[in-house]
A and B are shown apart, each in its own frame.
Chain A
Amino acid sequence: MNAPPRIRGGGAMVEFDHVGLRYGPDAEVLADVSFVLQPGSFYFLTGASGAGKTSLLKLLYLAQRPSRGIVRLMGEDVVALPRDRLPGFRRRIGVVFQDFRLLPHLSARDNIALPLRIAGVEEEDLAGPVGEMLRWIGLSERAHALPATLSGGEQQRVAIARAVIARPQLLIADEPTGNVDPEMAMRLLGLFEALNRLGTTVVVATHDIHLISKIDNAQMMRLEKGRLSDPTGALRYPPANRA
């Protein structure tokens, strides 16, 4: 196993340089996307359905390689990165999928514990953080429930807990509040903000424009037909850097 990647001193968390993405022979779903995400910043990614938000997130969480352009993550060009080095980067990225993607045969507790187990954490060291996370998302009583028996909102909370339990450096969330009530949405956003204060770079894709006003110093990126219309986040604030 390779050593975990380190961000080069003073470097950006993410750099996209004229990135394009196409699936097969079709037209590009992302075209000439260039932006820089600073460590410790909070970003909202907005855009209409089909604008390319999920494709952009896939590039961010290394589920896809771009068709062209350069993607740097934590200072390293990940486009040409050998496969055996990808897990080291992925362990430092937390992802909340729009469709949750919980493993259906695992309980809520085991789904949340998954990133720690994969990272090699011993079983006796799991109980504390997993229990704490279950308490925080309000599912301690349902720790052993399978995803199929959980409501959509509960599944989403489990998915978020799974994404953040390993304290990722980059947290990517695709519509994380889409299936929860407003109160839970605010609690989840509060968690993201707390993680952000601890240094985690957060990228939240959302349709909910009202969420953006809830986070101080958050920046907004807007995708329109595969192109980034506001790469600097100047719609609201100048680029923030809390690193």
Chain B
Amino acid sequence: MIIPRVPPQHRAMLAQSRMSGPTPWVLALLMLLTLLAAAAGLSLARAANGIGGAIAGRVTVQVVTANPEQRSIEAGRIRRAAAAEPYVSAVRAVPRDEVIASMGRWLGSAGGEDDPVIASLPLPELIDIDLVAGSGATQQARLAALVARASPGARVTPHADWLGPVAGTIRTLAWLAGALVVLMALASAAVVIMTARAALGSHLATIEILHLIGATDPQICRLFQRRIAIDCAQGIVLGALVAVLLIGLFSWQFAGVTAGLGASAAIGAGGWIFLAMLPLLAIALAALTARVTLLRALTMML
């Protein structure tokens, strides 16, 4: 039982004043930070997984033959040959407009066919090729050989080469957020231990009388455990409410982001369920910690 059932007349054996001091406020703060860290960790993990899934089997082929007509022929040859391979799931020629728009962003020019800077550049033919799920280095090597036969100067660039480190960094940050959640759980447990010990210290005279009258350790423990668990639960619920408000605000702001990392960083229904479980787990942890601490301390008394 997280919060033990104690008859009202028995509850009165302990003075009615709150026994946890500032503990509920400290736990509220820790719960707030725990939930924010957990939400950040979930978002980052989803973003990393989203990136990982998007780049795992995608390569871009650049056909850089100087002669534009020859370049176009070789690109067509690569597309047809790749599409015939069983390990290729999709082949897409990147439209020239898209290439020009990308170049415009890099060069700081207005972009478009009329831009003299871009018009002077020998733009490559780009082909995005998606490999079927589960494809690995062997399939990529076969694709590279196929491309080399069709266009000896073409370059094959797996997306994992340049987005992989980003995904790895995001994944590391997600693990760090997870570690923060664990550390804050430990800090919360330490706060509860100190609270339980302080409560016992300040009620020593009452405990001694209850012991001498014949109260058992579990009887006395239940009185304290109930009060400490309720005090802790109040703090945890307060912290959780503030955290939900803040996370909801962030989620609402991110809802407008439909591209890039932001689009894949939403917490999702599963994430919200996980976040909702955390305060319940925290209350259970607080009650359990209080019980173990109290019973151990009571055992030290005669």
Contact = CB atoms under 8 A, between A and B. Distances in A.
Interface of A: 1, 61-65, 83-84, 86-88, 90-91, 95, 101, 103-106, 110, 113-115, 117-119, 123, 162
B202 interface: no
Nearest to A90: B214
A224 to B, nearest CB: 27
Interface string B166-209: 00000000000000000000000000000000000000011011
Contacts of A95: 212
Interface of B: 7, 9-10, 12-16, 205-206, 208-217, 219, 299, 302
Contacts, number: 62
Given A63-B302, A88-B214, 20 more contacts: A62-B212, A62-B302, A63-B212, A64-B302, A86-B302, A90-B211, A90-B212, A91-B213, A101-B208, A103-B13, A105-B14, A105-B16, A106-B12, A106-B13, A114-B13, A114-B210, A114-B213, A115-B214, A118-B213, A162-B213
Contacts of A90: 211-214
A1 B14 CA distance: 22
Contacts of A119: 214
Contact of B216 (A1, A110, A115, A123): A1
20 contacts: A1-B216, A61-B212, A62-B212, A63-B302, A86-B211, A88-B214, A90-B211, A103-B206, A103-B209, A104-B15, A105-B12, A106-B12, A110-B9, A110-B12, A114-B13, A114-B209, A114-B213, A117-B13, A118-B214, A123-B9
Contacts of A118: 210, 213-215, 219
B177 to A, nearest CB: 44
B28 to A, nearest CB: 28
B204 to A, nearest CB: 12
Q: Is the interface of B mostly helix, strand, loop or mixed?
A: helix
A141 B209 CA distance: 25
B215 to A, nearest CB: 5
B15 to A, nearest CB: 4
B205 A101 contact: yes
Contacts of A86: 211, 302
Given A118-B210, A118-B219, A123-B7, A83 B12 contact: no
Contacts of B213: 90-91, 114-115, 118, 162
Contacts of A87: 211, 214-216
Contacts of B302: 62-65, 83, 86
Contacts of B208: 63, 101
A11 B213 CA distance: 24
A118 B220 CA distance: 10
A105 B212 contact: no
Contacts of B15: 104-105
Contacts of B212: 61-63, 90, 95
Contacts of B210: 114, 118
Contacts of A114: 13, 209-210, 213
Closest 8 CB pairs of A and B: A91-B214, A90-B214, A105-B15, A87-B214, A87-B216, A118-B215, A115-B213, A101-B209
